[in-house]
Chains A and B, each alone.
Chain A
């Protein structure tokens, strides 16, 4: 039986380690800053970590799962490490931290749009607004156009900046 204080320290240790694990497709950002860590729980027997995939069909999920299992296992805080993949709650691009958005920008990705979703009266659900303009991560211009909402991975779109004449990618809003 561990005390609440010890448990808290162990959880904090796990969060610290997760913050050092990179996203497999965009290594500049950590899993914690990307917002894909849903929860962390630990007792003597087991550590349990929930991962929320950015996209349902993301092929990097298994890479993340294995990396987390290995790195958290190596901390020796619990006998077993369980990594669950879940859509509850669903990941949205609002989960990316301010640090994560800055890291994306520094590595040449425009961060996803932030803004209100549009409530749809018929369904009572929110509609996602997709904007044709993103801020260029190289020169900061908003004189940009959406070239293709589909890019080299599921979570990325391709834009072009008319000022610095660079193509760049945006991590999509979902």
Chain B
């Protein structure tokens, strides 16, 4: 990483942290379905997806740790809730199945746009990792699209729940493309081959025609500068869960 100046390196760290925290937090929310999903196939599927996402987060935290000379486990488990940088979409607790399907659809479609961009990054380790993640995420996207259709074509109660969840999550989903502080430097260096705003436009063009027939017309919403800053009580609870072992005292732990 010696070939990057300090400001560009900081901007790269900001980008890696945002993507890693997104994957990490959605992975933990998905893992909440293990054992209680509505059908056995979905128990297996959500658990598998959660394992993928947390694996992606780990690989991204490791890249970040190289950039900032830190430790991946410390970054993952050693921060206070306010230091996490996932998008507002991931502040909400698991909710019901329709809510999880709505969030997963919004997330996977956005992640597909983001990974297609990062796979062309000039930062070679990031490009290679994003290219690899992208192939795995193909299966997540198929899964999310199939469930969106399945619920949308379901009985009125099911369709209503899905529509409510899509409306509730719409504004927060935009924050997956919240501008980064050092974004211009990243774009100039080719580390981020296109700005967040361009990715946001590509995502909106794809997603609106798919979700508006279900949820009705959705408001004009844009990514906000603080879209990755606010933390919720739901997330504070999840943070307590996923840091429990790391924060525990080995000497007094009971298994």
Per the 8 Å Cβ criterion, residues 82-141 of A in contact with B are: 87-92, 120, 122-125, 127-128, 130
Contact between A55 and B139, CB atoms less than 8 A apart: no
Interface: B142 (CB within 8 A): yes
Please name the residue on chain B nearest to A157 by beta carbon: B139
How many A-B contacts if CB must be within 8 Å?
A: 86
Contact between B54 and A57, CB atoms less than 8 A apart: yes
Q: Which residues of A contact B143 (CB under 8 A)?
A: 149-150
Contact between B135 and A87, CB atoms less than 8 A apart: no
Please name the residue on chain B nearest to A147 by beta carbon: B41
Q: Which residues of B contact A152 (CB under 8 A)?
A: 44
Interface: B128 (CB within 8 A): yes
Contact between A87 and B125, CB atoms less than 8 A apart: yes
Contact between B41 and A154, CB atoms less than 8 A apart: no
Among B45, B53, B58, B136, point to the contact of A148 (Cβ < 8 A): B45
Contact between A56 and B133, CB atoms less than 8 A apart: yes
Q: Which residues of A contact B134 (CB under 8 A)?
A: 125
In the assembled complex, the Cα of A130 lies from the Cα of B116 at a distance in Å of 18
Q: Of B117, B135, B143, B202, which is in contact with the most chain A CB atoms at under 10 Å from its CB? A: B135
In the assembled complex, the Cα of A125 lies from the Cα of B125 at a distance in Å of 17
Min CB–CB distance A156 → chain B (angstroms): 9
Among B52, B119, B128, point to the contact of A154 (Cβ < 8 A): B52
Interface: A63 (CB within 8 A): no
Specify the main secondary structure of chain B where it touches its partner. Answer: helix
Contact between B59 and A172, CB atoms less than 8 A apart: no
Q: Which residues of A contact B122 (CB under 8 A)?
A: none
Per the 8 Å Cβ criterion, residues 114-130 of B in contact with A are: 116-117, 119-120, 124-125, 128-129
Contact between B52 and A148, CB atoms less than 8 A apart: no
Min CB–CB distance B52 → chain A (angstroms): 5
In the assembled complex, the Cα of A148 lies from the Cα of B37 at a distance in Å of 14
Specify the main secondary structure of chain A where it touches its partner. Answer: loop
In the assembled complex, the Cα of A158 lies from the Cα of B44 at a distance in Å of 11
Min CB–CB distance A154 → chain B (angstroms): 6
Interface: A24 (CB within 8 A): no
Contact between B44 and A56, CB atoms less than 8 A apart: no
Contact between B49 and A56, CB atoms less than 8 A apart: no
Q: Which residues of B contact A28 (CB under 8 A)?
A: none
Q: A90-B128, A125-B116 are in contact. Are A57 and B44 (CB under 8 A)?
A: no
In the assembled complex, the Cα of A123 lies from the Cα of B55 at a distance in Å of 25
Contact between B125 and A88, CB atoms less than 8 A apart: yes
Q: Which residues of B contact A91 (CB under 8 A)?
A: 132
Per the 8 Å Cβ criterion, residues 71-130 of B in contact with A are: 116-117, 119-120, 124-125, 128-129
Q: List 16 A-B contacts (CB under 8 A).
A: A55-B136, A56-B129, A56-B132, A56-B133, A57-B51, A57-B59, A88-B125, A120-B116, A125-B120, A125-B134, A130-B142, A149-B139, A149-B142, A150-B47, A150-B143, A154-B48
Residues of chain B whose beta carbon lies under 8 Å from any beta carbon of chain A: 41, 44-45, 47-49, 51-56, 58-59, 116-117, 119-120, 124-125, 128-129, 131-136, 138-139, 142-143, 202
Give me 4 other A-B pairs in contact (C-beta within 8 A), A88-B124, A149-B142 excluded: A128-B138, A148-B41, A151-B48, A174-B136
